[in-house]
Structure 1
Amino acid sequence: MNLIRRIKHSIVLLLTFSLFFAYVPAALGASAQQTEEVRELLEHYHLKSPEDSELADKEIDEMVDSLGDPYTQYFDDQEWKAYSSELEQTFVGVGIVMMEEKGKVYVEDVIADSPAAEAGILAGDLLVSADGKSFAGKSMADIQKIIRGEEGTVVALTVSRSGKSLKFKITRKSVHVPVVSAKMLEQGIGYLALSSFTSDAAKEVKRELEKLEKNDLISLVLDLRNNGGGYVNSAQEIAGLFIKEGVLAHMRDRDGNDEPLSISGTERPYEYEVVILVNGNTASASELLSGALRDYGVAKLVGTKTYGKGVVQSLISLKSGGVLKVTIQEYYTPKGKKVDQVGLAPDLARSGAAEQLIGAFRLAGGKKLIVSWQDGVLTVNGIRMSQPDAARQEGKLWYFNLKLGAELAGAKLTYDAKNRSYTLTKGSQKETIQASDPRVTVKDGRTSIDVRLLAKWFKDVTFSTSGDTLKLGSR
């Protein structure tokens, strides 16, 4: 019991869903002292209140597995180094951000000054192989593990760009992924993307918000898509930028005790409208912040339902060596809504990265849209994303993704399976086209429409082409 009292004061609360970290137990060789220390900590802290008889005569990895909790983990020194690097978004690799689309993995973005940027890798490149080994059938997590490696080693990376195979030899090095990026989307509407709740995330968010405010910020689109969480105190500090005083969440332990997590905000919290972008990989601390800001009426959510990780872990350094990450609490939103294994449903449901951004932009009061597509990269009001299927050129004709085109036009898209027809509705205007119409094409399950027809139907939509670039606008 003395051990528990001593360690209790050094607990760091963590709310993270690790999207890419591959945990391989290495505790089979743990000492008897480490095994006993882990057993005692699990008995006293874990949310499930395991009995000593349940954990007896088990090695560390067996004890952890017996809990049926994917978030409780033991790390030896090497594993902890890798995990803490992930928390702080520092990796040894080539410096690319990936996205998966219909079983293929593309480069979504290239980190500035990274080995990949220096080599000439571009957003929109399709990842084909590394060191001669094909990526066919491999997941994004598999590919990420292959591309990472020891600092100073070389990886031969092959990509496909506009149908051409390109090979690059890239030397791996330590890369820090910027967790915050921001820009103005239109006069008065700002965009801020937060990829992780690192230890200094709140400071970076505040700095970028101050820059946006100098451009007469009226409303903010906060992008938390694919943000797997991080440190609870970072979420508290960020919430405090928008809420002067309140409760971030209700933390309930295994005995049902409710420990409210308070918000002590700034003297002058930001009082503009906030729209938060979320998806199925928005998890943990991201859900904590999103749920709180919505409950307080500060924000609305746009996208798809969030992941649903509503349990809290603490990080405990073992006296005998290693680190234990153990689930100790479940959290509920300020209004008492359950998040774990439920998630947060968006106020405005949208699928597709670009459709979500456009929906959030309009909900924030935005009107003018400038969209361009070239070589698989789609840009919406200056925000770049890899979306290979957004447009394609056939001879002199250009076709644009129908669902995305409807979003751009501000129209609702419906499909009549019986008559095999598509209808776009905007106010009292209705435009219907048969699926068999030559101005509609289907490729890889994606339906596209002749951009000339889209512009003809909706007078607010304009388009122009130049070589391999398609530009569209909406007023």
Structure 2
Amino acid sequence: MIRMRKWKSPLAVVLSLALTLGWTSAALADTPEQVKEVRQLLLDYHYGKPTEQSLSSDNIDEMIATLKDPYTQYYDNKEWKAFNSVLEKTFVGIGIVMREEKGAVYVDEVIAGSPAESVGIVAGDKLTSSGGKSLSGKTTAEIQQLLLGEEGTKLSLSVTRAGMKLDFIIVRQQLHLPTVTSNMLGDGVGYLSLSGFTSDAAEEVKKQLSALEAKGLKSLVFDLRDNGGGYVDTAQKIAGLFLESGVLAYMRDRDDNDSPLDVRGSRKRYPIAVLVNGNSASASELLAGALQDYGVASLVGTQTYGKGVVQSIVSLKSGGVLKLTIRQYFTPSEHKVDKVGLTPDVVVQDPASQLVEAYRMMGGRKVVLTANKDVVTMDGIRTAEPSAALKNGKGDWYVNIRMGASVAGAKLKYDADKHVFTLTKGKTVHTIPTNDAHLVVKNGRTLIDIKMLQRWYPGFSYSVSGETLKLTAAG
């Protein structure tokens, strides 16, 4: 989502005032005053130019439904608080990420600085009971509901670790999920991930980017996958870290008036690859589109979501908050984004393969990657990858053919007419038909016998530790 906080039009005065009013006293939804205020705002500012007749309902939700705009919404105070928490990546909890495995739920990750970390819960702990109630047979969603509560309240949680039962009393607190993470990959390639354009994200990107540069950064993989957007001015500030001058985008109102979003900053001397996918939306597309148009970065991944409209947030005098679509934006080269999305320079379908491809594009040579269950890890970067690898009843290992080809440094193509996969690396070409005994299909994904890749590509090797498969490939 893109959320505008500042306007450069006559409307700015009205909405800036509305935004500074703060919360009003609690009011029942759909009072005559609320209906009137929402109707007037939609008539005056909504991008679709609704009419009095189309907004004749006395029900706010019904009025909004006539717009056929999924991004215009009305929130009461409680709903707005929840929405804003999502936007700013804040929540009340104990700070664990869970995973299900064979009917049990385990701690997959503990958030740094969380209540769970402070009492000593660690990844791998099996959740057994909470508040005296057994968690056996419950899903992660069901357990999540049991762990929810008000800030400052206590939660009793029991886990099993190495066959021993451990009991904890944890105080729930408000947590802020990190929106920016980074680390150095091999060969001077830096990695920076941005999960949302929160109000503090630009400063954090700048800080972590500087830290990477101090470590000898030669090129950058900038991960915007699954980033649904956020504040426009945050996107502007981040763009200024990569662009010396230019336009982030052209904002076009309902009367076709263009308002360019200017960018002033400094251009990096090193190459950049931006990872995108079908969940990269709104402000992510705003930033990625500008970096692509100016030749600052190459996009790697899949077609982006295609949300090219902008919303403004208005606190209503009559109570509640209205989020309404006010503009559509176009990239610096006038490319339409809404309902279209951005097309990557290099199309790569699978998450792990996307990371490997971007790393190699940026000069990375040696790849070390592990696959365990449906999680792939490369240099500490964890990626969900369904059916990444499997072991058959004979103990033979198979790996997703796309991921395996990427690690080996080969280009994979599939001929749908001949039902044949082709792997090309330099002048070496290998073909394998889909009915070959060295291929298996699971959940719609094709996997190849790992021994075939080892046989075909010198420098490609694998090892197994328990249920974890490790792939290694030289440059």
Q: Are the counterparts in 1 of residues 147 and 155 from structure 2 also a CA contact under 8 Å?
A: no
Alpha-carbon separation, structure 2, partners of 1:414 and 1:57: 55
1:9 aligns with 2:16: yes
Q: Which residue of structure 2 lines up, in the alignment, with residue 330 of structure 1?
A: 328
Matched, 1:461 2:460: yes
Counterpart for residue 22 of structure 1: none
Aligned to 1:393: 391
Which residue does the alignment assign to 1:23? none
* Cα distance, 1:155–1:258 mapped onto 2, change above 3 Å: farther
SS in 2 for 1:242: coil
Question: Where does the alignment leave 5 or more consecutive residues of structure 2 unmatched?
Answer: 1-9, 20-25, 128-133
Query: Counterpart of 1:250?
Result: 250
Aligned partner (choices 352, 355, 358) of residue 354 of structure 1:
352
Change (3 A) 1:227 1:98: farther
What does 1:38-437 correspond to in 2, within 5 Å?
38-95=38-95, 110-114=110-114, 119-121=121-123, 150-151=150-151, 152=153, 173-265=173-265, 268-394=266-392, 395-416=394-415, 420-437=419-436
- Distance apart, 1:148 and its partner CA: 5.1
Alpha-carbon contact 1:242-1:271 (below 8 Å) kept: no
Give the total of aligned pairs.
442
Structure 1 residues 321 and 419, CA, compared in 2 at 3 Å: closer, same or farther?
A: closer
What is the CA RMSD across the aligned residues, in angstroms? Answer: 3.5
SS at match of 1:55: coil
Measure, in 2, the Cα distance between the counterparts of 1:239 and 1:145.
Answer: 39
Cα distance, 1:416 vs structure 2: 4.9
Deviations 1:154-177 (A, max 9, x none): 598999xxxxxx999996542211
User: Aligned-pair distance for 1:433?
Assistant: 3.2
Deviation at 1:439, TM superposition (A): 3.0
CA distance in 1, matches of 2:46, 2:167: 47
For the structure 1 residues 86 and 44, does the alpha-carbon distance in structure 2 shift closer, same or farther, using more than 3 Å as the test? Answer: same
Q: How much does 1:341 deviate?
A: 0.5
The Cα offsets for residues 407-457 of structure 1, whole Å up to 9 and x where unpaired, read as 111222234556654332222212233444443333333322222221110
What is the DSSP-based 3-state SS (H/G/I as helix, E as strand, rest coil) of the residue aligned with 2:455?
Answer: helix
Question: 1:246 is aligned with what amino acid?
Answer: G
**Deviations, residues 46-68 of structure 1 (Å, cap 9, x unaligned):** 10121223223422222211211
**Alpha carbons of structure 1 residues 5 and 402: separation in structure 2 relative to 1, 3 Å:** closer
Q: Where does residue 440 of structure 1 map in the other structure?
A: 439
CA drift at 1:226 = 0.5
Q: TM-score, normalised by structure 2?
A: 0.82
Q: For the residues of structure 1 that align with 2:94 and 2:467, how far apart are their CA atoms?
A: 28
Q: Which amino acid aligns with 2:440?
A: T
Amino acid at match of 2:234: S
The superposition leaves residues 289-345 of structure 1 with CA deviations (integer Å, 9 ceiling, x where unpaired) of 000111111011111100000000111111222211111100000111100001001
Cα offset for 1:380? Answer: 1.6
Mapped partners of 1:107, 1:258: distance in 2: 50
C-alpha distance in 2, partners of 1:346/1:27? 47
Q: Report the Cα distance in structure 2 between the residues aligned to 1:421 and 1:293, rounded to whole angstroms.
A: 36
1:182-233: CA deviation from partner (whole Å, max 9, x where unpaired):
0011132100000000001000000000000001211111000000000000
**CA 1:107–1:48: 2 relative to 1, 3 Å:** farther
Q: Mark the CA change 1:170 to 1:409 in structure 2 (over 3 Å): closer, same or farther.
A: farther
Give the TM-score normalised by the residue count of structure 1.
Answer: 0.82
- The one-letter code of the counterpart of 1:341 is K
Which SS does the other structure have where 1:204 is aligned? helix
Q: Is the 8 A contact 1:116 1:170 kept in 2?
A: no
Please show how residues 26-45 of structure 1 align to structure 2 within 5 Å. Answer: 29-45=29-45
**Identical pairs, percent:** 51
Q: Is the 8 A contact 2:135 2:143 kept in 1?
A: no
